[in-house]
Structure 1
Amino acid sequence: MKHILAVDGGNSKTHAVIVNESGDLLGQGFSPGTNYTGTGPALFLSRLQSAVDQAMNKADLQPGEIDYVQYGLAGADRPEDRVILNQLVSSMPFQHWGLECDTLQGLRSGSPEYLGVVIICGSGTNAAGRDKYGKTVQIGGFGYRFGDAAGGAFMAQETFRAAIRSWETRDDKTMLEEMVPKELGFSTMGELYRFALDNQDFSVPSALTHVLHEAAEKNDQTAISLLRNVGEELGKAGKAVINQLPALHEVMIPIVLNGSVLQKGKSPDLINRLKETLENNGIHDYELINSTILPVHGSVFLAFDALGIAIPYEKIHAHESFQIGKEDES
């Protein structure tokens, strides 16, 4: 019986799972994010080892009993990044392994043929694609300064800004003016504003992304507008990927939505604007795939592919610990 170790190393969390070739989940582990560009090499390895050790201990396996390891890692965006990451993971005690950017791991999680487009909106954002020839393209992923205008951190900041602008009467009133300070433990926006000014280490928490969704559900027009803007940005990123992979026009294009904002939030305002943006740019033959499975699935499937083993999709998809929001972090 072959054993597979799969790792999803994202910006905010690292998830390691061990499955056997029958699709049984034997163990899993969690640690903070492992984007080496932010953590540095030493902390990257420490966090990666922690998640892997937890999974190995729960599965009661030794490194020599793992037949293949698939790493899906944030930060593996450029060839020079991959050189560094390959050197780092080669120090792990496994003989056979593969490494892929977590973006393309996300594509594989929703595309059995491993082609199409993936649009990611988690703590950050990017988009990528792969055609039938194996050609890949990535758009974004390097932050606001490099053109990104989506992702949970960006959305939280826009939510905070909207609350301030409403309080100052620069813009129309929004319920975010009351919801934001309440979420952060303050009585008024003015109180929060003064605290943020007087405490230079204050940073806008990502939890405000949830507040943004809640306000939109209550029909707050400012919140709806912010979510639509993000949907448009994600649609533009998807369009850019397709423009650079013309072979995708030969098929019905799978467009996989990945990341917590898309997989947990599922805002109709955001999704509808994303679709409108694609279609306004002449992209009509596509299938939007917004699954409930965790990104680590992509690494599981890539490992099965590498070993040439048929994937027991039904069993893997049915396991509750592989579902968004149901992973066991105990």
Structure 2
Amino acid sequence: MSYVLGIDGGGSKTVCILMDDLRQVLGRGEAGPSNYQSIGREATFQSIQSAIQNAFEAAIITNTDKIDAICLGLAGVGRAADIELVKDLVKELQNSKLPIVWALQPANIVICNDALIALVGGIGQPVGIVVAVGTGSIVFGQNHQGYTKRVGGWGYILGDEGSAYKIAIAGMNAALKSYDGREILTSLIEAFQQHLDLESIEDLIEVVYRREWGVKQIAALAPIVDLAAASGDEVANNIIDDAVKELVKATSTVIDAIFSSDSALEVVTIGSVWRGRCKIHDRFTASICKKFPEVKVIFPRYEPAYGAALLALQTIQN
């Protein structure tokens, strides 16, 4: 029996899956964030080590002390320098106090970005497209030949179209334009005032600028726009429609780049934005399937860490 580890390392948490060669999940562990671009190398190592330790402590059997392969899908990993740093982290893990007998060969160590493991976990295989839309947004695809295409993922200043952050910004912008008289009347004015306990919509200035709100705090306001759209607000619905158009355009770009237009493929949608009440998922699905009738839009079958474990398993089964 062979055993592998799949690591999903993001900006909020790290998840480790312990899997055998029959695809059975034996243990799962969580720890803190592991995006080294934002928290540094040492904190990243500690989170990964803790997630592995927790997965073994939660394992349903006790003889899984030999690891034949590992895949680390980490946020912020894309350049050659990033990969070398993570390779050093794997060496450090092998020399740590973890209760593991390592049997790793270079070919059995997979280091990739978190979009790939989200694709593999979401669909259950490494072919298709993932449309990840939460605080930020990215579309990533891989075809049967192994060719990949990424669209977006450029961050809140340079990109992230369709994301919670951009929806929230558009909502606040529309509310202020409506207050000025530059936009038609919208319920977003009252909605933001009530949610943030403001005496006037003008107090958004104090909230956004003087409180030094970051990306996550602003993105958390996206549900206000979502609820207004679900209630029939025209301005809010226009914002959601614009988000859908951007996501359809990004997905279409990936399809055109690495798939044929009549390919039967799955598109997995992950992230908080898709769970909105304004049926943004239905709008996206109707639009992309009208353009590409052979496309099937799905919610994730498995979590990204499961996808990482599958990629690790692939290295010892090929």
AA at the equivalent of 1:121: V
Question: What's the offset of the Cα at 1:222?
Answer: 2.0
AA at the equivalent of 1:276: S
Q: What is aligned with 2:50?
A: 50
AA at the equivalent of 1:214: L
Question: What's the offset of the Cα at 1:245?
Answer: 0.9
Give the conservation status (yes or no) of the 8 Å contact 2:165–2:220: no
AA at the equivalent of 2:213: F
Give the conservation status (yes or no) of the 8 Å contact 1:119–1:128: yes
| Matched position secondary structure for 1:181 | helix
Question: What's the offset of the Cα at 1:226?
Answer: 1.4
Of 60-69 and 200-209, more deviation after overlay is shown by: 60-69
Give the conservation status (yes or no) of the 8 Å contact 1:20–1:26: no
Q: What is aligned with 1:186?
A: 198
* Cα offsets for 1:189-237 (capped at 9, x unmatched): 233433444x252334332122222222212222222122111111111
Give distance in 1, aligned partners of 2:267 and 2:312.
Answer: 22
Q: What is aligned with 2:72?
A: 71
Give the conservation status (yes or no) of the 8 Å contact 1:108–1:301: yes
Give distance in 2, aligned partners of 1:253 and 1:105.
Answer: 17
Give distance in 2, aligned partners of 1:114 and 1:133.
Answer: 10
The percentage of aligned residue pairs carrying the same residue is 25
Question: What's the offset of the Cα at 1:136?
Answer: 1.3
| Matched position secondary structure for 1:91 | helix
Task: Identify the match of residue 112 of structure 2 among 100, 120, 123.
Answer: 100
Give distance in 2, aligned partners of 1:215 and 1:277.
Answer: 24
Give distance in 2, aligned partners of 1:302 and 1:15.
Answer: 15
Question: What's the offset of the Cα at 1:14?
Answer: 2.4
Task: Identify the match of residue 247 of structure 2 among 229, 234, 256.
Answer: 234
Give the conservation status (yes or no) of the 8 Å contact 1:109–1:298: yes
Give the conservation status (yes or no) of the 8 Å contact 2:15–2:28: no
Q: What is aligned with 1:169?
A: 181
| Matched position secondary structure for 2:168 | helix
Task: Identify the match of residue 265 of structure 1 among 266, 269, 276.
Answer: 276
Q: Judging changes above 3 Å, is the alpha-carbon distance between structure 1 residues 176 and 164 closer, same or farther for their aligned structure 2 residues?
A: same
Gaps of 5+ in 2: 95-101
Of 91-100 and 52-61, more deviation after overlay is shown by: 52-61
Task: Identify the match of residue 288 of structure 1 among 297, 302, 306.
Answer: 297
TM-score (norm 2): 0.81
Task: Determine which structure has more spread, i.e. the larger CA radius of gyration.
Answer: 2
Give the conservation status (yes or no) of the 8 Å contact 1:235–1:275: no
What number of residue pairs does the alignment pair up?
A: 303
Q: What is aligned with 1:321?
A: none
Of 132-141 and 44-53, more deviation after overlay is shown by: 44-53
Task: Identify the match of residue 213 of structure 2 among 197, 202, 212.
Answer: 202
Q: Judging changes above 3 Å, is the alpha-carbon distance between structure 1 residues 146 and 192 closer, same or farther for their aligned structure 2 residues?
A: closer
The CA RMSD over aligned residues, in Å, is 3.0
Question: What's the offset of the Cα at 1:273?
Answer: 4.2
Task: Identify the match of residue 256 of structure 2 among 243, 246, 251.
Answer: 243
Q: What is aligned with 1:90?
A: 91
| Matched position secondary structure for 2:186 | coil
Question: What's the offset of the Cα at 1:252?
Answer: 0.5
Q: What is aligned with 2:12?
A: 12
Q: What is aligned with 2:144?
A: 132
| Matched position secondary structure for 2:176 | helix
Give distance in 2, aligned partners of 1:69 and 1:120.
Answer: 24
Question: What's the offset of the Cα at 1:272?
Answer: 1.7
Q: What is aligned with 1:323?
A: none
* Cα offsets for 1:111-139 (capped at 9, x unmatched): 34421222111221111111111111212
Give the conservation status (yes or no) of the 8 Å contact 2:73–2:111: yes
AA at the equivalent of 1:237: A
Q: What is aligned with 2:287?
A: 276
Q: Judging changes above 3 Å, is the alpha-carbon distance between structure 1 residues 17 and 212 closer, same or farther for their aligned structure 2 residues?
A: farther
AA at the equivalent of 1:208: L
Give distance in 2, aligned partners of 1:36 and 1:51.
Answer: 15
Question: What's the offset of the Cα at 1:107?
Answer: 1.4
Q: Judging changes above 3 Å, is the alpha-carbon distance between structure 1 residues 295 and 212 closer, same or farther for their aligned structure 2 residues?
A: farther
Give the conservation status (yes or no) of the 8 Å contact 2:17–2:28: yes
Matches within 5 A, 1:7-46: 7-21=7-21, 23-32=24-33, 34-46=34-46
Give distance in 2, aligned partners of 1:62 and 1:146.
Answer: 48
Give distance in 1, aligned partners of 2:310 and 2:153.
Answer: 23
Q: What is aligned with 2:98?
A: none
AA at the equivalent of 2:89: L
Give distance in 2, aligned partners of 1:17 and 1:129.
Answer: 23
Give the conservation status (yes or no) of the 8 Å contact 2:123–2:301: no
Give distance in 2, aligned partners of 1:95 and 1:120.
Answer: 34
Q: What is aligned with 1:297?
A: 306
Give distance in 2, aligned partners of 1:69 and 1:259.
Answer: 25
